[in-house]
């Protein structure tokens, strides 16, 4: 069992600073997901942990040992790449055993590890094939198998599922989760897909512009986003944002005035502060059906059926907000309605610093 | 499909006519060489160069191969053929090996000095060889390589380097970087990655390189003339000497047989390799 | 990055670096130096400034060589490009026996200049070649004796060179043409643009890369033109088909005039650098921009 600890990590490509003073602590056995939009530095951070790119500052510790100066192969890691990076001229068996042969393991040991991983991933029948003769999902499993045979202390995944179609992605997600549960290895996993992050992670580090905005468990992240960016990035459909000003214990949003005491904030907010109130669509309901919360008048704009529920779009003053409604009920929604905003689950952000109160 | 209107069919007749006439123009020299080589000298002197031989004979071919004279020795073009083979195999191997390793190091490892090295290599691809010849002859004399088989092999390696490096560099640069990263995580180093992963993937470009170097080295004249030495003159040099040897009457049939014999290897490479041939030449021409 | 691997990468470059430094740079420097000495049979270090260049440019043989190369180069590149492109366009019209035609047009390129030169020398032989056929069938007026006419001999080299290279141009152009999106053709047909206009105004601009590749290949072979002249005419008649590369070779190895030969080689080098350097610079700038 192995933890990873990254401290004060910085990295620049020429004048472009890609990672700003990153600190990250991954506990042994943890499944940490690095989540963020494309180009925010996730892969760079993962490469730094792997030792594939030189870094400009900071230290990386794996299992309590400072590995900052070590070779990738000396760090006790295994890695799965976005393009799978299978060696095209080698068979599946060759791909899985290459690293072990480089490390001069005995033939018997190599054979038994490959057999074990192939069995675990249902690759036994495919061992003599070349990557070109495999489907996308099979290649993905080979890439994971190649990592598994290393018996590494730490697994690094860089967007491993992003080249698969939607159905396979779901299946592989389940398999990866199962592997983690059965084998209990430490995983650092990069993705830009928040559903993948929410379903897999024990903790998610949300990144933006080379910084970690919040590092927390999925529930915490969803319910108590630390910044406006995290609040907007996590959750689909996205959180509603209503800009306003704090006056006398209320948030004033245009002509609306919502009582602040219902919102769970850490401390008092000074009068005159510009804030942004965030409410998730599932915390907005129809007051006439008995939904809890502060009631506001709204005009129905349009409805988006999404299957399990329907997203209703409403105008509240100058703002447009969305609410998650039951499909049967939504069919009869039109014209003016009374919406209930459940402020107990709402988040309040400072408009300037974009941080949560 | 383009419509088969009447005016179009007239245009197509013109098109085919032009293509056929062009084809005839391109085939003419080969045809003339061939029929000339199968005629006897009297027929060549009196007859028409385009006419088929009355009594085809391979006498000229036999003589060209085994007893045509260059200066004092009369052992035919076979001497040159064997010399060319002796030059060809090591030169092709060496030039491809050095070019592949250089291209690999340049494309995937960013070593120190890579930029200026590559710049020099590219510049040399345009420079006339005459600039290098004299100093190179002196250097080779100094280290005892001049007029020797190893000497000409080294020269082919030296001047094959820019093109070989370029095609291998371009090929390796197209390989996804993640593959190298995966190999590094697997613990493989520079040479291991080269041998176990890159070379097996590079088979197509190696074929291209072989085509390019076999034709290039077989067809070389100037390096063979300057660096191989009389004992090792390649076939092209030998051919030129046979044709220009001043002994006796000029035997055009023997000359043409020797010429065709010299062209046989590259022609064979060309017809066997088909479209790869063009691919190779184009790959060598795309700089940068 | 691995210390070991980095060392290995650096080591792997040693042969190439040695060749680049010693052979390419070293020889060039040495050649330039000799060209400024009074060396004749053996190199000496007797500095004479640009004396050899004065001699060189006053030398009739050199003047003829340079003129020949200029004329040959311009005509060869233009005509081979034109013929090759035209053949490619014709072959692109879905003709029968395409593979056969391609092979026929391209096979000369696989052969050496020595073979090419000897073949054409025989074909154009003033007594037994095409000339004799013309004579035999009664074309008394037409003289096919260009191979031995001082004012025409360079055109015989030109014919042989075009025969050698046109197929290559054809092949490069054809693969360019095949790479053009079929939708372009559909679009121009919907717009009612005639095919020849499409070729001139749409296709040729799109084939810039193919033209550049073909031109680079041919330009390189023009500067190196030597074997063809040796095999076909050996510079004759007189000095009418001399070329710069041959001038250098003759002065190096036969006339024992090293100073003059290196001055000629340096002049060739300077010309090439003057033409190529701006192109390479532009290309490098473009490449650097892409890499960034
Ligand atoms: N080799 C490189 N050279 C220059 N810039 C790079 C390089 N690799 C990545 N970058 C830049 O660094 C930033 C972060 O890249 P990356 O870590 O790959 O993002 P992510 O994986 O989050 O999409 C991007 O802006 C990208 O353009
Ligand atoms: Mg990435």
The answer to whether residue B221 is domain-embedded is yes
Helices (H), A163-273: 166-183, 194-200, 218-223, 228-233
Question: In the prediction, which pLDDT does B64 show?
Answer: 87
Residue B63: inside a domain: no
User: SS3 for B273?
Assistant: helix
d(CA A204, CA A198): 8
d(CA C142, CA A342): 104
| DSSP 8-state symbol, A224 | S
Range A7-20 average pLDDT: 92
Q: Residue C262: inside a domain, yes or no? A: yes
pLDDT digits (tens, 9 = 90+) for C59-104: 999 999 999 999 999 999 999 999 999 999 999 888 888 888 988 9
| CA–CA separation, C103 and B271 (whole Å) | 8
Q: Count the domains in chain B.
A: 2
Q: In this predicted structure, what is the pLDDT of residue C209?
A: 81
Widest CA span of chain C, in angstroms?
80
**Alpha-carbon dihedral sign for residues B35, B39, B45, B47:** negative
Cα separation, B131 vs C262, whole angstroms: 7
- Structural domain span for residue B24: 2-57
Summarize pLDDT for A94-116 with one digit per residue, the tens: 999 999 999 999 999 999 999 99
- Per-residue model confidence (pLDDT) at position C284: 61
Interface of C with B in 58-97 (CB under 8 A): 87, 90-91, 93-95
- How far is ligand 1, taken at its centre, from the CA of residue A29, in Å? 28
How high is the pLDDT of residue B6?
A: 53
Alpha-carbon distance of C65 to B200, in angstroms, equals 48
* Domain presence at residue B65: no
The structure tokens 């004759």 sit at: C236
Distance separating alpha carbons of residues A31 and A220, to the nearest angstrom: 15
Residue B68 lies in a domain: no
Kindly report the protein residue whose alpha carbon is nearest to atom 20 of ligand 1: A39
**Greatest mean pLDDT among A1-10, B66-75, C18-27, C191-200:** C18-27
Domain count, chain C: 1
Q: Is residue C271 part of a domain?
A: yes
The boundaries of the domain holding residue C230 are: 59-291
Residues B126 and B234 in one domain: yes
Token duo for residue A299: 């005009």
In the structure encoding, which two tokens stand for residue B266, read together?
A: 């590259």
pLDDT digits (tens, 9 = 90+) for A53-90: 889 999 999 999 999 988 888 898 999 999 899 999 99
**Percent of all residues in chain C with a pLDDT value above 90, rounded to a whole number:** 43
In a domain, C96, yes or no: yes
CA of A23 to the centre of ligand 2 (A): 19
Pocket (CB within 6 angstroms of ligand 1) = A 13, 16, 18, 36, 38-44
Q: Which of B25, B252, B262 sits opposite C122 (nearest CB)?
A: B252
On whether residue C200 sits in a domain, the answer given is: yes
* Average pLDDT across chain A, whole number: 91
- Domain of C192, CATH number, reads 1.10.3720.10
In chain A, where the domains are located: 4-233, 240-350
Strand partners, C113: none
pLDDT in tens, A21-36: 999 999 999 999 999 9
Look at residue B223 and tell me if it is in a domain. yes
Residue C27 within a domain: no
Q: Do residues B146 and B183 both lie within one domain?
A: yes
Who has greater pLDDT, C256 or C287?
C256
Check: CB of residue C258 under 8 Å from CB of residue C39.
yes
pLDDT tens for chain B, 288 residues: list them.
444 455 568 888 888 999 999 999 999 999 999 999 998 888 888 888 888 888 888 888 888 898 888 877 888 899 999 999 999 999 999 999 999 999 999 988 888 888 889 888 888 888 889 999 999 999 999 998 888 999 999 999 999 999 999 999 989 999 999 999 999 999 999 999 999 999 999 998 999 899 989 999 999 999 999 999 888 999 999 999 988 886 677 888 899 999 999 999 999 998 888 777 777 776 666 543
Same domain flag for B257 and B131 = yes
CA distances from C26 to B133, C32, C258 (A): 12, 10, 17
pLDDT for res C97 = 86
Q: Based on the domain organization, do B230 and B182 belong to the same domain?
A: yes
Q: Look at residue A144 and tell me whether its pLDDT is greater than 70.
A: yes
Residues B107 and B154 in one domain: yes
In a domain, B41, yes or no: yes
Distance CA B50, CA A302 (A): 87
Which residue in the set A72, A83, A88 is minimally distant from B185, CB to CB?
A72
| pTM, 2 dp | 0.85
Residues B206 and B141 in one domain: yes
Chain-centroid distance, C-alpha A195: 7
- C-alpha of residue A187 to centroid of ligand 1, in Å: 22
Question: Which CATH number describes the domain made up of A240-350?
Answer: 2.40.50.140
Q: Could you tell me which of A231, A218, A206, A216 has the C-alpha nearest to residue A348?
A: A231
Q: Of the candidates A73, A82, A89, which has its C-beta nearest B185's C-beta? A: A73
Q: If you take atom 17 of ligand 1, which residue's CA is the nearest one?
A: A41
Mean pLDDT of the A132-140 span: 92
Same domain, residue pair B126 and B217: yes
C150 and B CB contact within 8 Å:
no
- pLDDT(C1) > 60: no
On whether residue C208 sits in a domain, the answer given is yes
Distance CA A193, CA A187 (A): 17
Structure tokens at C251: 């002065």
Q: What is the average pLDDT score of chain C?
A: 86
CA distance B35 to B43: 11
Q: In a mutagenesis test of the A interface, which of B171, B179, B186, B203 is the best target, namely the one with the most A β-carbons within 10 Å?
A: B186
* Same domain, residue pair B111 and B228: yes
Q: What is the pLDDT of residues A165-222, one digit of tens each?
A: 888 889 889 999 999 999 989 999 999 999 999 999 999 999 999 999 999 999 999 9
Q: Between B131 and C181, name the one with better pLDDT.
A: B131
What 8-state DSSP symbol labels residue A40?
S
**At B196, which CATH number?**
1.10.3720.10
Q: Measured between CB atoms, which of B189, B218, B256 is closest to C4?
A: B189
Alpha-carbon distance C181 to nearest alpha carbon in chain B (angstroms): 16
Residues B260 and B216 both lie in one domain: yes
C31 with B132: Cβ contact below 8 A: yes
pLDDT (tens digit per residue) in C231-254: 999 887 888 889 999 999 999 988
Does C174 fall in a domain? yes
Q: How far is it, in rounded angstroms, from Cα C216 to Cα C224? A: 13
Domain assignment present for residue B66? The answer is: no
Among C15, C112, C171, most B C-beta atoms within 10 A, so best to mutate, is C112
Fold of A4-233: Rossmann fold (3.40.50)
Nearest CA to ligand 1 atom 16: A41
Closest CA–CA distance from residue B158 to any residue of chain C (Å): 7
Residue B147 lies in a domain: yes
Tell me which residue has its CA closest to atom 21 in ligand 1. Answer: A43
Q: What is the per-residue pLDDT for B7?
A: 56
Whether B101 and B11 share a structural domain: no
CA of A41 to the centre of ligand 2 (A): 7
Within a domain: residue C47? no
CB atoms within 10 A of CB C242: 26
Residues 150-189 of chain B whose Cβ lies under 8 A from any Cβ of chain A: 176, 178-179, 181-188
């Amino acid at each position: 069992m192995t933890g990873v600890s990254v401290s004060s990590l910085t990295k620049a490509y020429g004048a472009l600073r890609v990672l700003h003073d990153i600190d990250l602590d991954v506990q042994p056995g943890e499944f940490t997901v690095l989540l963020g939009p494309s180009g925010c530095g996730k892969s760079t951070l993962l490469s730094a942990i792997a030792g594939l790119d030189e870094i400009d500052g900071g230290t990386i510790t794996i299992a309590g040992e400072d590995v900052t100066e070590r070779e990738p192969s000396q760090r006790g890691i295994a890695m799965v790449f976005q393009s799978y990076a299978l060696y095209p001229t080698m068979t599946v068996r060759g791909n899985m055993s290459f690293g072990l042969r480089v490390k001069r393991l005995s033939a018997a040991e190599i054979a038994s590890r490959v057999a074990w991983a192939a069995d675990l991933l249902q690759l036994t029948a495919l061992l003599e094939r070349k990557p070109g003769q495999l489907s996308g999902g099979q290649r993905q499993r080979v890439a994971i198998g190649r990592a598994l045979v290393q018996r590494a202390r730490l697994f690094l995944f860089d967007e491993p599922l992003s080249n698969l179609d939607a159905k396979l992605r779901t299946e592989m997600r389940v398999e990866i989760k199962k592997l983690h549960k059965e084998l209990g290895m430490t995983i650092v996993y990069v993705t830009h897909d928040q559903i993948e992050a929410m379903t897999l992670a024990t903790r998610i580090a949300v990144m933006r512009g080379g910084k970690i905005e919040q590092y927390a468990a999925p529930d915490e992240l969803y319910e108590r986003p630390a910044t406006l960016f995290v609040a907007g990035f996590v959750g689909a459909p996205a959180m509603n944002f209503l800009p306003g000003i704090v006056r006398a214990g209320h948030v004033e949003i245009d002509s609306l005035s919502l009582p602040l005491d219902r919102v769970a904030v850490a401390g008092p907010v000074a009068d005159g502060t510009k804030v942004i109130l965030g409410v998730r669509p599932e915390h907005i309901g129809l007051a006439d059906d008995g939904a809890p919360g502060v009631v506001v008048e709204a005009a129905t704009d349009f409805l988006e059926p999404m299957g399990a529920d329907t997203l209703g779009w409403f105008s509240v003053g100058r703002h447009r907000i969305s609410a998650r409604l039951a499909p049967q009920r939504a069919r009869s929604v039109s014209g003016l309605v009374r919406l209930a905003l459940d402020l107990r689950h709402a988040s309040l952000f400072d408009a300037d610093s974009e941080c949560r109160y | 499909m383009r419509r088969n209107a009447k005016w179009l069919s007239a245009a197509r007749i013109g098109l085919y006519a032009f293509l056929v006439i062009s084809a005839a123009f391109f085939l003419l020299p080969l045809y003339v060489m061939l029929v000339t080589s199968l005629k006897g000298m009297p027929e060549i002197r009196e007859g028409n160069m385009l006419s088929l031989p009355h009594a085809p004979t391979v006498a000229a071919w036999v003589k060209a191969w085994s007893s045509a004279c260059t200066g004092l020795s009369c052992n035919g073009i076979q001497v040159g053929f064997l010399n060319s083979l002796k030059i060809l195999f090591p030169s092709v191997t060496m030039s491809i090996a050095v070019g592949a390793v250089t291209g690999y190091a340049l494309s995937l490892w960013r070593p120190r000095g890579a930029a200026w090295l590559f710049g020099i290599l590219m510049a040399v691809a345009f420079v006339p060889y005459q600039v290098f010849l004299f100093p190179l002859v002196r250097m080779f004399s100094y280290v005892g390589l001049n007029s020797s088989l190893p000497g000409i092999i080294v020269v082919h390696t030296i001047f094959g380097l820019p093109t070989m490096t370029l095609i291998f560099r371009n090929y390796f640069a197209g390989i996804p970087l993640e593959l190298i990263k995966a190999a590094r995580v697997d613990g493989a180093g520079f040479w291991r990655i080269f041998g176990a992963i890159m070379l097996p993937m590079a088979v197509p470009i190696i074929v291209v390189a072989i085509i390019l170097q076999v034709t290039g080295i077989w067809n070389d004249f100037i390096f063979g003339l300057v660096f191989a030495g009389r004992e090792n003159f390649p076939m092209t040099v030998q051919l030129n000497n046979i044709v220009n040897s001043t002994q006796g009457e000029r035997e055009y049939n023997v000359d043409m047989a020797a010429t065709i014999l010299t062209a046989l290897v590259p022609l064979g490479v060309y017809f066997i390799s088909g479209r790869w041939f063009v691919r190779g030449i184009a790959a060598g021409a795309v700089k940068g | 990055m691995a210390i070991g691997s980095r060392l290995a990468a650096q080591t792997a470059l040693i042969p190439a670096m040695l060749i680049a430094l010693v052979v390419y740079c070293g020889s060039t420097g040495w050649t330039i130096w000799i060209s400024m000495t009074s060396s004749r049979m053996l190199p000496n270090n007797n500095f004479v400034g640009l004396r050899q260049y004065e001699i060189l440019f006053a030398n009739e043989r050199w003047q003829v060589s340079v003129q020949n190369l200029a004329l040959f180069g311009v005509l060869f590149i233009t005509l081979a490009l034109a013929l090759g492109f035209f053949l490619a366009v014709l072959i692109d019209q879905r003709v029968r026996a395409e593979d056969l035609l391609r092979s026929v047009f391209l096979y000369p390129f696989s052969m050496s200049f020595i073979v090419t030169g000897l073949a054409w020398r025989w074909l154009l032989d003033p007594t037994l070649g095409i000339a004799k056929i013309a004579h035999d069938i009664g074309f008394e007026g037409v003289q096919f004796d260009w191979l031995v006419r001082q004012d025409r001999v360079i055109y015989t080299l030109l014919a042989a060179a075009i025969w050698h290279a046109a197929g290559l141009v054809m092949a490069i152009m054809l693969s360019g043409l095949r790479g053009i999106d079929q939708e372009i053709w559909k679009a121009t047909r919907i717009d009612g643009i005639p095919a020849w206009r499409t070729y001139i105004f749409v296709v040729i601009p799109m084939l810039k890369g193919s033209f550049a590749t073909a031109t680079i290949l041919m330009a390189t072979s023009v500067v190196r033109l030597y074997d063809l002249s040796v095999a076909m005419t050996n510079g004759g008649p007189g000095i009418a088909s001399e070329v710069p590369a041959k001038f250098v070779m003759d002065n190096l190895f036969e006339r024992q005039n090293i100073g003059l030969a290196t001055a000629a080689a340096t002049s060739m080098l300077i010309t090439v650098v003057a033409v190529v350097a701006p192109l390479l610079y532009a290309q490098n700038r473009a490449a650097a921009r892409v890499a960034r």
